[in-house]
Structure 1
């Protein structure tokens, strides 16, 4: 792979584009954010889901937890284990050590890919190759920008760049990719082609969350407006003139009441009777917490990951974290890893190499347990001193002093054939006398 080689791409359509400047300095209001979603996200269902904090936060957590684990190229070893391939040993290892494209870093690329897999169970990235057929860039796409075409047994993907940012990244308005050049990660696949979208599978949960959000908005909007009626104490009805006068007074006094200037005092013994429901009476807090739990269940994320700590105990977090990593993160990461293998490695290389996210970096780190783990590995001779120092972020010892292992004196070092390489100091010599037996008796028994 050469940095100076041209990228070989097939452009289906292109046109002259004007230079547009975008200011990222000002903060967007909620109305502007909703408008931005409509212009930049190619699916209305995704727009509605992203406006729900619980759904957005669950997807963020999954994407960040996978993106924070380093993606490496590993080599299979004869003993069933594997080792990390250094950048100078393979071109794909060097590719992982640099960047996926001219604009993104690897964590940014992986996070976007995982986010769209969470949203729609389909994630796309096109591969731009050089003239030798080696991958040079990986371009991530929104799900709504990709259209699948089938011709015989071949599949093609038409990609349309809908915004200036996408056009700048792709280098064209539209482009067609063969399936061998498209990383298409599918989750919850039913028809053998596309993933069954989470937004469709969990529509009832998301609709309920949307209804709760709408109710909360109407309940607490309009400057905390109080809903109710005024009731006259005593007998008799108001005449038209008195009614219009009270109505005019009420408009003025309510404005002053909202501004916190003065209370509302009306003539003729008028009494205010509220008719709106109170949040406590409707158990709004309980419903909101239950909705968060339902959303977390939909995406298989424990509630404490989105800071919903009701009913959670710190003693159980370690067990919950292991279940989350094993049942949610690793299966999701494996789908990406296998797809990277299929698209980015040749058939010959796939027999020897594979991509893998660092499993240890996915888990919740406990400094005390991590220290105990390193200590045990070091004392049992499983790692060298320099390797233990590297796990703690320390530099190797000078002059190779750390390239040694510690072996307990009561253990023997045995090779694969069962031959003792280093005998333990406590090994019993079969010719040595017992503790309560004289040496002469031991020799006579041996001669007999």
Structure 2
């Protein structure tokens, strides 16, 4: 790894096979945009957290296909990692949350697949993308050169190479079909503008003099008098903690109010729009990240369904496909699935209404519903539900 690679990686820039040309860089505002600076924006942090934690909260199962259908393969090594944790340091939700968050911020999430002598997976070790340099081999396969810069495995700086079949590689949308490209690099100006607005807002409070205005005197102040005046104003009135303090004037000095507020400068309105832009960048409905500017109860419910269907659903499909290809054996009849019905856990009425419809139409049995809810089966639960009796025709009495 070159010196340029090492320096750039320490500042959060991702490395790609073609160099640094596609990386998050400097926005027109002059602000650097990378995974670290972007997460200083609460909207970016909220979007990444919302997507990654939602997927991490979903139940995951390894299914085995059979002649009579499919069953959960609880003895499979991958299923054991889901239950016990993929490595000694992370639980399964921690690992999935890290993998998805890395992909959202850097365009790629990588984990080493550790196997035993029989080839069964025994560990999934997270590898920060900052440590990785990717090479395309003459065979057409990818090689991942990992230089451990810091972490629990020690900061030895030694280089080791992992081949394509030895890693689990989750990608965001790719330009070359090989590596993902981060959304921060695709929308550098959007994020850079948000950083600039946040900095401007902070500077307004840090450097503001309240009440703001102009001091006027007859004649000209000497350099010492001007210095004393500036220092006195800075000591007494600069900063949010000194907001509203009384300004004492002397020597014929006059104060002229200058009304300029964040609203007049459109800073606050611009920051609100920046939140919407970043939510759009990550395809997260604004109410999911606590932006209730245009919120009603109805569109909040719709936003939750939209989030599950169009944001979480595609990411879950990518995860399932990558686990099936990278971790499960080729030609295996097993598959990895995340249970999206977990999103219904918080909607009590909708969940039980769905169970009722499933039982009534012989899609699920009552004991299967109890199993879904985490309850033990009961023999009497398998009795068929009572069928509504057909209405009887009214009896017509013959005329006398």
TM-score normalised by length of structure 1 = 0.73
Deviates more, 1:90-99 or 1:112-121: 90-99
1:98 Cα deviation (Å)? 2.1
Mapped to 2, the partners of 1:151 and 1:160 lie a distance apart of: 18
Structure 1 residues 252 and 122, CA gap change in structure 2 (3 angstroms): closer
Partner of 2:50: 61
**Count of matched residue positions in the alignment of Structure 1 and Structure 2:** 365
Tell me whether 1:161 sits opposite 2:148 in the alignment. yes
Tell me whether 1:286 sits opposite 2:272 in the alignment. no
Select the residue among 125, 129, 145 that pairs with 2:115. 129
1:100 Cα deviation (Å)? 0.7
Partner of 2:228: 248
Could you list the runs of 5+ residues in structure 2 that have no partner in the other structure? 1-8, 15-32
Structure 1 residues 113 and 224, CA gap change in structure 2 (3 angstroms): farther
Select the residue among 194, 200, 223 that pairs with 2:185. 200
Tell me whether 1:330 sits opposite 2:317 in the alignment. no
Mapped to 2, the partners of 1:144 and 1:199 lie a distance apart of: 15
Deviates more, 1:369-378 or 1:223-232: 223-232
Tell me whether 1:355 sits opposite 2:341 in the alignment. no
Mapped to 1, the partners of 2:50 and 2:302 lie a distance apart of: 18
Counting only pairs closer than 5 Å after superposition, residues 167-182 of structure 1 correspond to structure 2 as 167=154, 173-182=158-167
Deviates more, 1:246-255 or 1:307-316: 246-255
Structure 1 residues 277 and 363, CA gap change in structure 2 (3 angstroms): farther
1:357-388 Cα deviation digits (max 9, x unpaired): 11111457321222222223233443222233
Counting only pairs closer than 5 Å after superposition, residues 204-219 of structure 1 correspond to structure 2 as 204-219=189-204
Partner of 2:6: none
Preserved contact between residue 81 and residue 92 of structure 2 (Cα < 8 Å) = no
For the residue of structure 1 that corresponds to 2:85, the secondary structure is coil
Tell me whether 1:75 sits opposite 2:75 in the alignment. no
Counting only pairs closer than 5 Å after superposition, residues 31-46 of structure 1 correspond to structure 2 as 41=12, 45-46=34-35
Preserved contact between residue 135 and residue 143 of structure 2 (Cα < 8 Å) = yes
Structure 1 residues 52 and 390, CA gap change in structure 2 (3 angstroms): same
Mapped to 2, the partners of 1:261 and 1:61 lie a distance apart of: 39
Deviates more, 1:279-288 or 1:223-232: 223-232
Q: Indicate the RMSD between aligned Cα atoms, in angstroms.
A: 3.2
Could you list the runs of 5+ residues in structure 1 that have no partner in the other structure? 1-37, 411-425, 427-434, 437-448
1:173 Cα deviation (Å)? 4.4
1:145 Cα deviation (Å)? 1.1
Structure 1 residues 208 and 175, CA gap change in structure 2 (3 angstroms): same
Partner of 1:376: 357
Partner of 1:7: none
Mapped to 1, the partners of 2:273 and 2:34 lie a distance apart of: 22
For the residue of structure 1 that corresponds to 2:34, the secondary structure is helix
Mapped to 1, the partners of 2:364 and 2:221 lie a distance apart of: 95
For the residue of structure 1 that corresponds to 2:152, the secondary structure is helix
Preserved contact between residue 187 and residue 195 of structure 1 (Cα < 8 Å) = yes
Partner of 1:414: none
Partner of 1:152: 138
Mapped to 1, the partners of 2:291 and 2:192 lie a distance apart of: 20
1:157 Cα deviation (Å)? 0.7
Preserved contact between residue 209 and residue 237 of structure 2 (Cα < 8 Å) = no
1:113-165 Cα deviation digits (max 9, x unpaired): 00011112211111111111111111112222111122212321111221132
Larger CA Rg, structure 1 vs 2:
1
Preserved contact between residue 86 and residue 124 of structure 2 (Cα < 8 Å) = yes
Partner of 2:27: none
Partner of 2:326: 343
Select the residue among 61, 71, 80 that pairs with 1:94. 80
1:323-360 Cα deviation digits (max 9, x unpaired): 222211111111111111111112221xx221111111
